[in-house]
Structure 1
């Protein structure tokens, strides 16, 4: 057994075996995989093996597609049949709302080249006469996927890995990880199987590894404890039952008919597939409990929990309704086993927070579907520096250090029951909320605020009626223009015509200071650094030259900077900042401090033609009539001012593209300043504004958003941000950015869409019916009275005036590439004097 390796993969399920295989395929030598028990002994062995291509996320759609395509090649490479039944996948719809979900998904699938079809109830009945289609309105059909034998596909990947030089060692349990500064020393205990029990022998071995990947499945909490980090991957009980042979099904197949596709009645919350003449029913019911919240007991191996049939009675009866012949098929077998979940259902894939060369691949609720693609894209990240798609949506650091075990339990149980609940783009799940709130939370609720959450923070999405029932927002969600839409429209119009006040306290804030601060930030970001008292928009790049983070940098002093970035990415940003600073110091740079001060500072954004007049009501200055003038307080500058009794770090910038200021203040002044601004604003037509209107308005100015237009699959030059890139200086990722060239370009589109729906930022962009790009943001433009979107197209199609189309809910609508910042392209309004 080797004791020094390039990469050590911990965990021998489908995910771990795929990672080991793909690292070796990508060219890494000396890859080892260790497993505490037997390969597939975790959730892999009792998985149903389904391979659904359906997913509402861009990255996960690519991951699932790669897996389905990859598994079809394994037998030719390894000689092992993975048991792939390509019977297709039929997702049925009982309501138009469900069909709208499928229509939105259809556009996402187009962007990833995932083939699919739509079927009518009659077409379903003609193909599969055992189905009751009387109450269906249609279905989405993927003919190219199906299901696979989980153990067989895992063993096939393991064999492929061995053929490429990977060493796989069973009965080794990790007991400790130690980072030396250049490598990991992983201490493992040899496990001896005595009388059927997996127990430690007390015999230890150390493995020295440059990189470690954990794919420990249900054991993620133990992994977190060994690494000293938080991993919100906790299993939930998932049960499925197998029926005795169904005589009607047997007759159907004996007549020469093909196997039924995997059936999904999403509105009834279950999947069903054929199994040896009978059926497997897998429900996603309410009330499924989390398990192993602090770790898996040593006595639990390839075990199961007792079945709870009462919990799935509703789903069982709905299966009988959909396939009436199942009523006479008795129960043959049952399974109730742990499957790991995360709060949003996406796995945790990428660098571990705070650690070097430690990679996580945890929290796979659809592990067989995701295993192949995860191995492929994670290997790209490790070997090449970045994957070909933006993997930020799966990054483990999307969850902050504020999270607790109890929070993860509640959110994972909620996520399980939401597998088949409609996934609206404006979906806001209720469990474990409110949690992180600003001091203004109650006051905002009293004004009708309908809250969303970002990184655990409650923030207004829009302000509805003050007397709205508690379920108003839930009932307003739609794939079309819900009841919330009119409120967001009025808020956007207020900022364009009078003024609006936005609580932006969730923004990430960092203080960077010390004798090395300027040199570090000059290397770390691609734009010139601002002068003292001024601000700049800039970007931190990955070593691969793509966009890692967007920052607004305020220079407070020669060696002191205030960095503002997206509220959803606090831990993601601080991790990269601190690791980059460590590298800077290691290369001989001077000392600097980096402090996350997000929770210490509140932020209100005031914008609109009347913004200056509102602040003039409150500002305290020897010459109050000029303190906010362009001469004393120009655009893109910062001043410390006083608004009544509140000290404010005022930044003259507005994400909405109107005259405005971001007001940063010690968070304990929130209630006072909120009240003062509202009282002053009442005289000037100010409205309270939420995140949805702000999102529409920033698209009218073509302001790119991190996580949408900006990500690790596009460079700042491809995003059209040349004016924020100083090619006269050296910075991280510069040469890689230049070497990539311009593969696609970010554009803003005005769209003549339907009267009852807008773009959500997930749709395909087309030319003459052929896909040429995808939207990354979408919404409604109050300035132009039509839909608006931002996205990426081929460079030759990026010229203003280019005629394209965008697919909205199954239909292509005319779209035109417009100039950058179509609303006020000369920035006259944002520079408005007073």
Structure 2
């Protein structure tokens, strides 16, 4: 029988590289009473058969920060623990075979420069010099990252385990956790079994690092952990005489990667349509197991590989390998405390980048657990982005057949998932579809992104250049600017907070003044102790003890968790009302005239001022009209009970026919909001961005009394800002901005854009991004006196910079 303690501060479930990294980093922070339980043996499951590629560049600054940390950690581990990790920085090359892929990798190179990752752009001839075995026919460009590398995944995990043990952590194999116990909304420990023995460990915290077993274990506690195993294939050749050490090579247009290992070549695949595995559960005996070969499935990749790497034609195949790995609905892993259960933490679902990610992810999670808040913005991988419906196994099986292939697909802007669609639809879905809507998906919601003209194909044609809907977006954008547009934003998260302590709770969590008259709407942020932005929302006071919070659809679970975590014993009820009401924004200079046709109420500035909310009659129904805007024009958001939404929609469409009313999509809303420099949560504002540096000090009322983040606001005001969020417009109307393009100030890269879109009214691409101050509190006029340029795929373009919105800086249009 294993000698297990009766109590632990934390129990970590799973002995792959993720669990070992969490144990190592918690132990390094000085934690005692750490127990890691592994159902079979360390590294069994997925870690042992991973390819071990360690790339440093990721799609965002903080994911790159974590990957760079992993690489740095793996170089140190061997000296610290005495176990060889096999890590060597052999570099990596990505070769493009199309003009679109060339644009993508050159944009990635720009990104690397902004993030401080060493990078070289390569011509096809230079690719050949660095990788002489490659057939460069059709190669359009390459990018070389000299500090990327490869490693032995199992040995890294064992080194992490040894490092954790040396600091007092208990790591026990052959012990399966059968259940996480809970009481009063928190974990209380784990039940375990080992052979014929069983027992319980009481624990303050539990970390699910269970990989492909993690989903079903989480589901037993009502925790959403959406992941599913897929089959992942690679071959290893016989030894090839004279094959020296080579960089890792990726040829994403052929779905392939190549790794030299001990004089052999490993060729792995991320094929376009993957094979999900384990639909009927994972066998109890599964350990260092392989899945059945499927040569027919792999053959197309191998045929392209033999053409691309002619030496493969002569080399025998030593190993044909097929093993399972976990994939998630959006190709990003899960980290953090589950919103459903206090003390239940997660680090799982690594989508084939577990070796490169686990060092940094383990560090970040340990620091998060230690401090009670994330060390920096981790929203991309935050478990709170998962939607409860996503634990559905049929949904996951379909979706992961696509997400594996998307790792090497073109990462086009606005790319939409093709599988597992149509799960969450607004009451207006079929009506929008009938009128030409082309839908995108966020948090499972189908949302009209743009509207096709009669006879125009209703699908995306992806490109890094102007996509096939660019002119549609312009028409919708200008309708909002010059006429009147109608949107469907029913996917907004809607939270009711009611009760005797509702005002007190919201006053403590929100930075703006919430003690307003009933019928008033307040734009505000919820801050953390650092002054960072945890939530961006509007709060409407419906009655003395009733409030409606409206948040982005993607952050609903996060915001609910934040409210519930801080409510404590307060006398409040917090209810998700999202599906109960549709939201129809009516926006543009003619919005008042349109609403006056369908409602007897007074929509003048005196009758319905900006920032007020009231019930109106509309058609033969009722709605709550919020005078607020996210497009920067006169307008109202109409909140309508779901059962009346279609009637209100039809009433508006009929009444607006001779006024040029246009149905508008999310792309037009986004291009309008960026012209107005409205912030987008998750891009322009995160929990790492100070509310004052984000330019949102107008929504902070320090005089109202104490609230979370108040001290950080006062300190920042005293010390001066260290950076500012600025708006940029390219003076050349041709280039397009998406986000992450480097910002150059007087010729030096100082940051990157947090978001970008095309400003159809301003006549050029618009971006938002943070620029560091040269000295704390540098004057705005000094910052604006600099020369700014934005780098796009290796070329820099002149940009106008502004701290005030370039569109309607005086708010005259909103208050018209």
Q: TM-score, normalised by structure 1?
A: 0.93
Cα displacement (A) at 1:543: 4.0
Task: Give the conservation status (yes or no) of the 8 Å contact 1:218–1:235.
Answer: yes
Cα distance in 2 between the residues matched to 1:312 and 1:188: 41
SS in 2 for 1:574: helix
Query: Which residue number in structure 2 is paired with residue 237 of structure 1?
Result: 231
Query: Which residue number in structure 1 is paired with residue 681 of structure 2?
Result: 706
Query: Which residue number in structure 2 is paired with residue 55 of structure 1?
Result: 58
Q: How does 1:607-618 map to 2 (within 5 A)?
A: 607-618=587-598
Identify which of 786, 800, 803 aligns with 1:816: 800
Identify which of 657, 660, 677 aligns with 1:682: 657
Q: How does 1:24-39 map to 2 (within 5 A)?
A: 24-39=27-42
Deviation per CA, 1:529-548: give whole Å up to 9, x if none: 13211110111123443211
Cα distance in 2 between the residues matched to 1:495 and 1:801: 33
Query: Which residue number in structure 2 is paired with residue 624 of structure 1?
Result: none
SS in 2 for 1:175: strand
Cα displacement (A) at 1:59: 3.4
Cα distance in 2 between the residues matched to 1:52 and 1:645: 60
Query: Which residue number in structure 2 is paired with residue 592 of structure 1?
Result: 572
Cα displacement (A) at 1:770: 2.5
Cα distance in 2 between the residues matched to 1:754 and 1:386: 42
Cα displacement (A) at 1:295: 3.7
Unaligned runs of at least 5 residues, structure 2: none
Q: How does 1:524-603 map to 2 (within 5 A)?
A: 524-529=509-514, 530-581=516-567, 583=568, 585=569, 589=570, 591-603=571-583
Change (3 A) 1:462 1:744: farther
Cα displacement (A) at 1:444: 1.6
Task: Give the conservation status (yes or no) of the 8 Å contact 1:385–1:543.
Answer: no
Deviation per CA, 1:347-380: give whole Å up to 9, x if none: 0111112111211111112111111010111122
Task: Give the conservation status (yes or no) of the 8 Å contact 1:709–1:746.
Answer: no
Query: Which residue number in structure 2 is paired with residue 453 of structure 1?
Result: 441
Query: Which residue number in structure 1 is paired with residue 811 of structure 2?
Result: 827
Query: Which residue number in structure 1 is paired with residue 358 of structure 2?
Result: 371
Cα distance in 1 between the residues matched to 2:80 and 2:186: 33
Task: Give the conservation status (yes or no) of the 8 Å contact 2:329–2:400.
Answer: yes
Identify which of 301, 310, 324 aligns with 2:310: 324
Deviation per CA, 1:111-150: give whole Å up to 9, x if none: 3222211111111222322110021011111111121001
Task: Give the conservation status (yes or no) of the 8 Å contact 1:172–1:188.
Answer: no
SS in 1 for 2:69: helix
Deviation per CA, 1:161-218: give whole Å up to 9, x if none: 1222222122221122223459743234342xxxxxxxx32x2232222222111112
Change (3 A) 1:816 1:3: farther
Q: Does 1:411 align with 2:409?
A: no
Q: How does 1:28-177 map to 2 (within 5 A)?
A: 28-177=31-180
Query: Which residue number in structure 2 is paired with residue 734 of structure 1?
Result: 710
Query: Which residue number in structure 1 is paired with residue 242 of structure 2?
Result: 251
Query: Which residue number in structure 2 is paired with residue 443 of structure 1?
Result: 431
Query: Which residue number in structure 2 is paired with residue 348 of structure 1?
Result: 334
Q: Does 1:269 align with 2:255?
A: yes
Deviation per CA, 1:716-756: give whole Å up to 9, x if none: 12211111111121112333455566664342323325544
Query: Which residue number in structure 2 is paired with residue 759 of structure 1?
Result: 737
Query: Which residue number in structure 1 is paired with residue 668 of structure 2?
Result: 693
Identify which of 9, 19, 23 aligns with 1:20: 23
Change (3 A) 1:69 1:84: same
Cα distance in 1 between the residues matched to 2:389 and 2:78: 46
Cα distance in 2 between the residues matched to 1:549 and 1:186: 31
Q: Does 1:383 align with 2:370?
A: yes
Query: Which residue number in structure 2 is paired with residue 628 of structure 1?
Result: 603
Cα distance in 2 between the residues matched to 1:363 and 1:293: 16
Q: How does 1:283-322 map to 2 (within 5 A)?
A: 283-293=269-279, 295-322=281-308
Change (3 A) 1:543 1:294: farther
The count of corresponding residues between Structure 1 and Structure 2 is: 801
Cα distance in 2 between the residues matched to 1:466 and 1:165: 69
* Of 289-298 and 157-166, the range deviating more from structure 2: 289-298
Cα distance in 2 between the residues matched to 1:245 and 1:346: 35
SS in 2 for 1:402: helix
Deviation per CA, 1:602-626: give whole Å up to 9, x if none: 00111111110111110134xxxxx
Q: Does 1:790 align with 2:793?
A: no
Cα distance in 1 between the residues matched to 2:652 and 2:419: 32
* Of 10-19 and 124-133, the range deviating more from structure 2: 124-133
Task: Give the conservation status (yes or no) of the 8 Å contact 1:488–1:692.
Answer: yes
Q: Does 1:219 align with 2:203?
A: no
Task: Give the conservation status (yes or no) of the 8 Å contact 1:537–1:724.
Answer: yes
Task: Give the conservation status (yes or no) of the 8 Å contact 1:220–1:234.
Answer: no
* Of 766-775 and 141-150, the range deviating more from structure 2: 766-775
Identify which of 492, 498, 503 aligns with 2:477: 492
Identify which of 348, 366, 372 aligns with 1:362: 348
Query: Which residue number in structure 2 is paired with residue 194 of structure 1?
Result: none
Q: Does 1:749 align with 2:727?
A: yes
Task: Give the conservation status (yes or no) of the 8 Å contact 1:348–1:362.
Answer: yes
Q: Does 1:208 align with 2:202?
A: yes
Identify which of 403, 415, 425 aligns with 2:413: 425
Query: Which residue number in structure 1 is paired with residue 266 of structure 2?
Result: 280
Cα distance in 1 between the residues matched to 2:531 and 2:368: 13
Task: Give the conservation status (yes or no) of the 8 Å contact 2:582–2:639.
Answer: yes
Deviation per CA, 1:436-464: give whole Å up to 9, x if none: 11232222223222211111111111112
Task: Give the conservation status (yes or no) of the 8 Å contact 2:186–2:341.
Answer: no
Task: Give the conservation status (yes or no) of the 8 Å contact 1:51–1:369.
Answer: yes
Task: Give the conservation status (yes or no) of the 8 Å contact 2:190–2:203.
Answer: no
Deviation per CA, 1:230-278: give whole Å up to 9, x if none: 21111101011111223xxx2353xxxxx12111111000111123322
Deviation per CA, 1:642-676: give whole Å up to 9, x if none: 11112110000111111000011001222222222
Query: Which residue number in structure 2 is paired with residue 337 of structure 1?
Result: 323
Cα distance in 1 between the residues matched to 2:113 and 2:667: 26
Cα displacement (A) at 1:563: 0.8
Task: Give the conservation status (yes or no) of the 8 Å contact 2:178–2:193.
Answer: no
Cα displacement (A) at 1:291: 1.6
Query: Which residue number in structure 2 is paired with residue 260 of structure 1?
Result: 246
Q: Does 1:401 align with 2:388?
A: yes
SS in 2 for 1:620: coil
Cα distance in 2 between the residues matched to 1:676 and 1:182: 46
Cα distance in 1 between the residues matched to 2:740 and 2:221: 36
Query: Which residue number in structure 2 is paired with residue 661 of structure 1?
Result: 636
Task: Give the conservation status (yes or no) of the 8 Å contact 1:753–1:808.
Answer: no
Task: Give the conservation status (yes or no) of the 8 Å contact 2:250–2:258.
Answer: yes
Q: TM-score, normalised by structure 2?
A: 0.95
Query: Which residue number in structure 2 is paired with residue 468 of structure 1?
Result: 456
Cα displacement (A) at 1:484: 1.4
Cα distance in 2 between the residues matched to 1:642 and 1:73: 68
Deviation per CA, 1:278-327: give whole Å up to 9, x if none: 21111112442212246422121211111101001111011111111211
Deviation per CA, 1:743-778: give whole Å up to 9, x if none: 643423233255443111222212233221221111
